[in-house]
Amino acid sequence: MSDLLIISHDVVGQRMAGPGIRMWELARTLAKQIPVTLIAPRPIDFPSASGITYGHYTWGEKTTLAPYLDEATTVLANGFVASVHPELMTFRGRLIVDLYDPIVFENLELFRHRPFIEREEQTHRDTTLLRELLLRGDHFLCATERQRDLYIGGLLALGRLSPALVDSDPLLRDLIDVVPFGVSDDPPQASGQPALRGVLDDLNNDHQIILWSSGLWDWLDPLTVVRAMPDVLAAVPQARLVFLAGRHPGQVPEMATYQQTRNLAAELGLLGNGIHFYNEWIPYAQRADFLLEAAIMVSLHRAHLETRYAAVRSRVLDYFWVGRPSIVSAGDAAAELIREHQAGEVVPIGDSQAVAAALIRLLTDQQYWAHQSAQATALGQRLRWSQVVEP
Tens-place pLDDT, residues 140-167: 999 999 999 999 999 999 999 999 999 9
pLDDT at 239 over 70: yes
Q: Are 200 and 274 in contact (CB under 8 A)?
A: no
- The count of other CB atoms within 10 Å of the CB of residue 125 is 14
Amino acid present at 251: Q
pLDDT in tens, 69-94: 999 999 999 999 999 999 999 999 99
Residues 6+ apart with CB under 8 A from 197: 203, 204, 205, 207, 209, 293
| Cα gap 387→391, rounded to integer Å | 9
Hey, is 380 helix, strand or coil? helix
β-pair type (36-40, 4-7):
parallel
Question: Which residues are bridge partners to 109 per DSSP?
Answer: none
| Cα gap 26→38, rounded to integer Å | 10
What is the arithmetic mean of pLDDT over 20-40? 96
| Confidence at residue 137, expressed as pLDDT on a 0 to 100 scale | 98
- The count of other CB atoms within 10 Å of the CB of residue 202 is 12
- The count of other CB atoms within 10 Å of the CB of residue 87 is 13
Amino acid present at 6: I
Of all residues in the chain, the percent with pLDDT exceeding 70 is 99
DSSP assignment of 9-36: SS--SSS--HHHHHHHHHHHHHTTTS-E
Hey, is 345 helix, strand or coil? strand
pTM for this prediction? 0.91
Question: Regarding the domain with residue range 208-387, which homologous superfamily does it belong to in the CATH classification?
Answer: Glycogen Phosphorylase B; (3.40.50.2000)
pLDDT in tens, 274-286: 999 998 889 998 9
pLDDT in tens, 346-362: 999 999 999 999 999 99
**Which DSSP letter does residue 186 get?**
S
Burial of 253 (0-12, 13-18, 19+ CB in 10 A): exposed
DSSP assignment of 221-277: -HHHHHHHHHHHHHH-TTEEEEEE-PPPSSSPPPPHHHHHHHHHHHHTT-BTTTEEE
Task: Encode 203-214: b = buried (16+ Cβ within 10 Å), e = exposed.
Answer: beeebbbbbbbb
| Confidence at residue 252, expressed as pLDDT on a 0 to 100 scale | 73
For domain 4-142, give the fold. Rossmann fold (3.40.50)
Estimate the crossing angle of helix 222-235 against helix 352-364, to 10 degrees. Answer: 50
- The count of other CB atoms within 10 Å of the CB of residue 166 is 12
Long-range contacts of 137-140 (CB under 8 A, 24+ apart): 137/95, 137/96, 137/97, 138/94, 138/95, 138/96, 139/94, 139/95, 139/96, 139/97, 139/174, 139/175, 139/176, 139/177, 140/96, 140/97, 140/98, 140/99, 140/175, 140/176, 140/177
| Cα gap 263→271, rounded to integer Å | 8
pLDDT in tens, 91-123: 999 999 999 999 999 999 888 889 999 999 999
1: pLDDT confidence band, cut at 50, 70 and 90?
very low
What is the arithmetic mean of pLDDT over 353-378? 97
Nearest to 207 by CA among 244, 245, 236, 229: 236
| Cα gap 295→360, rounded to integer Å | 12
Give me the count of residues in the chain.
Answer: 391
Q: Are 384 and 184 in contact (CB under 8 A)?
A: yes
Q: How distant, in Å, are the alpha carbons of 48, 105, 230, 250, 299 from that of 219?
A: 35, 10, 24, 18, 11
| Cα gap 45→239, rounded to integer Å | 37
What is the arithmetic mean of pLDDT over 110-139? 95
The helix (H) or strand (E) run that includes residue 39 is strand 36-40
pLDDT in tens, 164-212: 999 999 999 999 999 999 999 999 999 988 999 989 877 999 999 999 9
- Domain-wise residue ranges, the chain: 4-142, 208-387
Rg, Å, the chain Cα set = 21
Estimate the crossing angle of helix 103-110 against helix 116-136, to 10 degrees. Answer: 170
Of all residues in the chain, the percent with pLDDT exceeding 90 is 87
